[in-house]
């Protein structure tokens, strides 16, 4: 059975917010991105940076016109504050390398945001 940690009431973690839960060795960041909850270890697998201090960002891809760019999926990625590596919050997958930051399941029950397995 997975461990359960009550993070906050739903109204205490509104869309666009994040909190670091003091579980495990480094803590776990729990994010509410437009009503979708994600949780990642506060530890970058590249060099051990404090991931949850990093800036939320989106995805930049090539546009249809030559030399153009398209910015999408705003706030679905986090950038490590130490070296700028970017990771998808939902999967933990790095954007430019074959490494992942650990992710955790988050559920909402009876108005509580609950972190599982941390």
pLDDT in tens, 40-96: 999 999 999 999 999 999 988 899 999 999 999 999 999 999 999 999 999 999 988
Mean pLDDT of the chain: 95
Cα angle: 35, vertex 36, 41; to 5 degrees: 130
- What is residue 96's predicted lDDT score, i.e. its pLDDT? 87
Calpha distance 6→45 (Å, rounded) = 26
CB atoms within 10 A of CB 6: 11
pTM for this structure?
0.90
């Amino acid at each position: 059975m997975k461990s359960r940690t009550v993070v906050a009431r739903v109204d205490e973690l509104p869309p666009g917010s994040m909190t670091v839960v003091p579980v495990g060795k480094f803590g776990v960041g729990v994010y509410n991105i437009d009503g979708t909850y994600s949780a990642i270890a506060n530890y970058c697998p590249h060099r051990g940076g404090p991931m949850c201090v990093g800036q939320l960002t989106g995805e930049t891809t090539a546009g249809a016109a030559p030399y153009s760019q398209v910015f999408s999926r705003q706030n679905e990625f986090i950038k490590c504050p130490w070296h700028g590596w970017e990771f998808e919050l939902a999967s933990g997958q790095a954007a430019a390398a074959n490494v992942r930051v650990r992710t955790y399941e988050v559920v909402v029950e009876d108005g509580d945001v609950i972190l599982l397995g941390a």
